[in-house]
């Protein structure tokens, strides 16, 4: 059995016994019933995910999947794909947005080269980059499939293997992405799986003006008509219009779910990957925590399809895992409420009749 099929088959739902025990405790905390609202909902989920009323989330890792996209040749981005390498350099040097916010959250950042169109070996002197390169970027899906079906499966399995490799040092995973052109792939994935018009899920990405946005929409409409991805087959969708880093994110989600570890889903790109994972293994959705709602309108459609209400809405559109890093503070807060706050009995406080 392949790693992908073995992983999918091993994913089961949350631990209902731990959820029930956590619910009983949360019901008795010294405050009006469920007065901390969604923070308490989150605590309940974390207990179910981790199978414990004392879930551990101290060791945090944000995994930034990086890959380039041939669709940039069709003029859908303001920036050339060479920028991807330069951004990875920033991640490794600890100076990018994700590094700043991850440090604040007490999280490690690990970059995975899924398909960057450049040599990253000189940047990985301390093992800062996991090499899972499938190819130096996808093909231009405006002219044909982005990748072969075999490459799509290999990329999914690379994401699973990254989760497995980092599992012993990670309690809480966060997803991140880097890849010029990846909003186009994500839009095409969401349009296909959610069966929505392209114009309803495409936004400005790196800051396109009105004319550039119209061009992007037309390119993606033609690309979807050309490739005709099957919405009932997530691997077909991935292979025809996806990206290697999006596949890596989907695999990471599947791997985390199989390991029964919580995974915070960052923004639009990460949610496109999570959407694929959710179609491949519906139970994997029980391990996903949506970090935030980005300004990309396709993100809202993807979150709705997953049945996820994000924790935050801060007008982010950066990616990299920045939203996941900020949300990690809320994850720790939810666990603290569950494990540190007293019940009425413990505090010897009389409940109101």
* Residues with active-site annotation: 320
Q: Where are the alpha helices (H) located in the chain, listed in sequence order?
A: 3-10, 16-27, 37-50, 82-93, 97-105, 149-166, 182-193, 210-227, 234-241, 244-258, 268-280, 297-306, 322-340, 344-347
Q: What are phi and psi of 130, to 5 degrees?
A: -85, 125
Q: Which two tokens stand for residue 106?
A: 């007490």
Contact indicator for 97, 320 with CB cutoff of 8 Å: yes
- β-pair type (107-115, 263-265): unpaired
Q: DSSP 3-state helix, strand, coil percentages of the chain (rounded to 5)?
A: 55, 10, 35
CA 319 to chain centre: 10
Based on the number of CB atoms within 10 Å of its own CB, is 174 exposed (0-12), middle (13-18) or buried (19 or more)? buried
C-alpha radius of gyration, the chain, whole number: 20
Contact indicator for 138, 69 with CB cutoff of 8 Å: yes
Contact indicator for 114, 67 with CB cutoff of 8 Å: yes
Contact indicator for 24, 182 with CB cutoff of 8 Å: no
Task: Give the strand order in the sheet containing 60-67.
Answer: 129-131, 107-115, 60-67, 172-178, 263-265, 288-290
Instruction: Provide the b/e sequence for 91-128 (b: ≥16 CB within 10 Å).
Output: bbeeebbbbebbeebebebbbbbbbbbbebeebeeeeb
């Amino acid at each position: 059995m392949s790693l992908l099929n073995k992983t999918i088959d091993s994913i089961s739902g949350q631990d209902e016994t731990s959820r029930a025990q956590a619910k009983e405790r949360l019901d008795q905390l010294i405050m009006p019933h469920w007065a901390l609202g969604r923070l308490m909902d989150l605590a309940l989920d974390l207990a179910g995910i981790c199978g414990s009323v004392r879930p551990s989330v101290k060791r945090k890792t944000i995994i930034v999947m990086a890959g380039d996209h041939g669709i940039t040749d069709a003029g859908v981005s303001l920036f050339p794909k060479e920028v991807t390498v330069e951004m990875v350099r920033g991640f490794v040097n600890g100076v990018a947005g994700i590094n700043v916010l991850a440090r604040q959250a007490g999280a490690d950042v690990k970059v995975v080269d899924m398909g960057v169109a450049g040599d990253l070996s000189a940047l990985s002197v301390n093992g800062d980059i996991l090499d899972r390169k499938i190819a130096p970027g996808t093909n231009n899906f405006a002219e044909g499939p982005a990748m072969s079906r075999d490459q799509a499966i290999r990329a999914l399995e690379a994401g699973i293997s990254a989760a497995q490799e980092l599992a012993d040092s990670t309690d809480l995973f966060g997803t991140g992405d880097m890849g010029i052109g990846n909003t186009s792939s994500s839009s095409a994935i969401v349009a296909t799986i959610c069966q929505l018009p392209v114009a309803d899920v495409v936004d400005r990405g790196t800051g396109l003006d009105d004319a550039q946005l119209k061009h992007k929409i037309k390119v993606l409409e033609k690309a979807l008509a050309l490739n005709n991805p099957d919405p009932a087959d997530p691997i077909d969708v991935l292979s025809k219009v996806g990206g290697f880093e999006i596949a890596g994110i989907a695999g990471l989600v599947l791997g985390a779910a199989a390991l029964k570890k919580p995974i915070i889903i960052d923004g639009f790109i990460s949610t496109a990957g999570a959407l694929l994972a959710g179609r491949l293994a519906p139970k994997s959705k029980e391990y996903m925590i949506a970090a935030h709602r980005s300004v990309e309108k396709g993100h809202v459609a993807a979150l709705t399809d997953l049945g996820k209400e994000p924790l935050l809405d801060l007008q982010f559109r950066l990616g990299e895992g920045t939203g996941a890093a900020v949300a990690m503070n809320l994850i720790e807060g939810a666990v603290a409420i569950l494990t540190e706050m007293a019940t009425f009995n413990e505090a010897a406080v009389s409940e109101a009749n």
